[in-house]
Amino acid sequence: MLFNLSNFTNPSYLIQILLSIPVVLFSLSFHECAHAYAAHKLGDDTAKNMGRLTLNPFKHLDPFGAVAMLLVGIGWAKPVPIMTRNFKHPKSGMVISAAAGPLSNLILSVIGVLLYVPFEWFLGSKNAFTSAVSLFLFLFHYMNLALAIFNLIPVPPLDGSRVLFGFLPDRIYFGVMKYEQFIRIGFLMLILILNYFDISIIGWVCRPISNGMIWLILRLPIFSVI
């Protein structure tokens, strides 16, 4: 979903934006809550004590990240604070806590596609209401898939950079993380430049995966006998 001012004259685009709002609110909140829950189970209650172990979107949302998710198709929330010194095994604790966010979105994406395919098959084009529900389910599936893939990019401050922590020597990892602020700014600028030229690398990755997931579900016996 690439931002283009001309899209706002298109009713279908506006409907897509409206249907995407609850998806963004829930998905980003679920992602951050997963981080907090994993850290809590591993012994770090920092996020829990700050009220981040919740699905309340107002506790998690970064306004700029939420708007970017709606307009560009990729976004983020306020990072959940994690103190690795509270883990029995700091490196593995960080890896598991960081991976919990993208994994939670992948699970939501699978749930979304499992609901979308049969709904679209049986009811999707019956009327305007069922078409809207079908689109909502697809957006729920696709946007969560995009969130999972985007957050696994090993670039600060994304979760992939924290997962990388478990596989790099401390000297190299912390040497790179000294420049986290500059890397973050450069990465955001790259996203904006790619968006300006209507280039969606995440879309290139997501589309074949999404199509593959839909293809697999359509191979289930229930669809072959109808």
Instruction: List active site positions.
Output: 32
Q: How far apart are CA 154 and CA 166, in angstroms?
A: 12
Cα–Cα dist 111/212, whole Å? 15
Q: How many angstroms from the chain centroid is the CA of residue 37?
A: 17
Task: Tell me the Cα Rg of the chain.
Answer: 19
The tokens describing 138, both together, are 């697809």
> Rounded to the nearest 5°, which phi and psi values hold at 83?
-105, 105
CA distance 196 to 200: 10
